[in-house]
Amino acid sequence: MSYPRLAEALLQGRPYFGQALLALQGDPDRHRYFLPVVRVLAASLARALEILEVGSWVGASAVSWAKALEEAGCGGSVTCIDTWATYFDMTKESRRHYVEMDEAARSGAALRLFLHNIRASGVDGAVRHQVGDSRKVLANLASDSFDLVYLDGSHAFEVVRSDIVHAKRLVRSGGVLCGDDLELQLAEIERTPHEASLASGLDYVQAANGRSYHPGVTEAVALELGKVSAWNGFWAVRKGARGWDPIDLDLQGARLPRHIEMELGAKQIEIVAETPAFNLLRCGPERYVALAKSLGPVEPLVERLGERDLGSVVFVGRTLDEVRAKISAVKSPIASLKRFLRSL
């Protein structure tokens, strides 16, 4: 499960959001909605924003929120609440995904990687954390303390409902309550099989329509908020004068945060062509890299070699023809590599 990459990241002080310890939870595409939500708040509130995140695991979403605050130009902080402890009923959840999460939590590895990722991502000045059960921690927080509360902790109905009840009190007027893992809203599901899914206590099930969802999240959101604005599992509502209102997001140009994009790109690397001196790689839909064979075996995006041209040994382009044109004038990659290393 990519443990060599995890070890390299820890040793080199780089953040890690790969497969080991299931570091990237859920659908990573949902991170593209973080910045649009922050921009809505930054435009209307015109102040540094306070974000509360319930359920952080190893920090991928916490980094996304912190980077969104930076990019929106409003500043602020992210408070992370998590047990970083086992919470699945392992007598029911036997799939490997849950076994690995249980082991990572039990050993303390998940919390240690969270702390590493926050430091390595350069957001430790904006992110703080508290270890504890959200049902107890949230109850002790002052009302109207946060501009945005993001719920992504336990999917058990009782816990999700408790988190929403507390979050409704904690969000300031004009603020946003949002969360993850709402693949289906209650109106989209047949009631009888849904009730059976709730009674099963399972975390993730398949509905009668063939789509998989988290029944505890669906039920709790419906009971406490009704129908909410939702995009591909990410959901949100805004606190208005008379209750909770739908929210519109400007998704034009919405993109994944860089640390998520890098991780997904690392999984998409493939050699598509070669010359006597270079391997030509596709690293995502619009990134091609010409990598001198004289460099030996490397992981271009993990080692951050695919971000820009380096001397005459690494060339980057949006098309294969673009990188072919760049390498056409290189006569000796080995000599170029030696010159490049001497220049460091």
- CA atoms 306, 310, 315, 318: torsion sign: positive
Determine the longest span between alpha carbons in the chain, in angstroms: 71
Of 30, 69, 44, the C-alpha closest to 240 is: 44
Burial classification of residue 199, based on how many CB atoms lie within 10 Å of its CB (0-12 exposed, 13-18 middle, 19 or more buried): exposed
| pLDDT tens for each residue of 180-199 | 999 999 999 999 999 999 99
- Note whether 155 and 217 are within 8 A (CB): yes
> 109-121: b or e for each residue (b if 16 or more CB lie within 10 Å)?
bbbebbebbbebb
Give me Rg for the CA atoms of the chain.
22
Q: What is the pLDDT of residue 107?
A: 93
Per DSSP, the three-state class of 76 is strand
pLDDT at 317 over 80: no
Q: 74 near 85, Cβ under 8 Å?
A: no
Q: What is the amino acid identity at position 187?
A: A
For residue 305, the model assigns a pLDDT of 44
Q: Which long-range contacts (CB under 8 A, 24 or more apart) does 226-232 make?
A: 227/185, 227/187, 228/182, 228/185, 230/182, 230/185, 231/30, 231/33, 232/27, 232/29, 232/30
Percent of the chain, pLDDT > 70? 86
* Mean pLDDT score of the chain: 87
DSSP, residue by residue, 259-297? HHHHHHHHTTEEEEEE-SSEEEEEESTT-EEEEEGGG-S
Chain-centre distance for alpha carbon 301: 18
Least confident of 160-169, 237-246, 295-304: 295-304
Q: Residue 338: helix, strand or coil by DSSP?
A: helix
Share of the chain residues as helix, strand and coil, in percent rounded to the nearest 5:
40, 20, 35
User: By percentage, how much of the chain surpasses pLDDT 90?
Assistant: 62
Do 125 and 154 form a contact (C-beta atoms < 8 A)? no
Q: How far is it, in rounded angstroms, from Cα 230 to Cα 61? A: 18
The pLDDT score that the predictor gives to residue 69 is 98
238-261 burial code (b ≥16 CB/10 A, e <16): bbeeeebeebebeeeeeebbebbb
C-beta neighbour count of 24 within 10 angstroms: 21
C-beta atoms surrounding 277 within 10 Å: 17
pLDDT of residue 318: 74
Q: Taken in order 94, 96, 99, 101, is the CA torsion positive or negative? A: negative
Q: Which domains does the chain have, with CATH numbers?
A: 3-245 (3.40.50.150), 268-343 (no CATH)
DSSP characters over 34-67: HHHHHHHHHHHH-S-EEEEEE--TTSHHHHHHHH
- pLDDT (tens digit per residue) in 208-267: 888 999 999 999 999 999 999 999 999 999 999 999 999 999 999 899 999 999 888 765
User: What are the C-alpha distances in Å from 33 to residues 10, 12, 117, 143, 168?
Assistant: 28, 30, 21, 26, 21
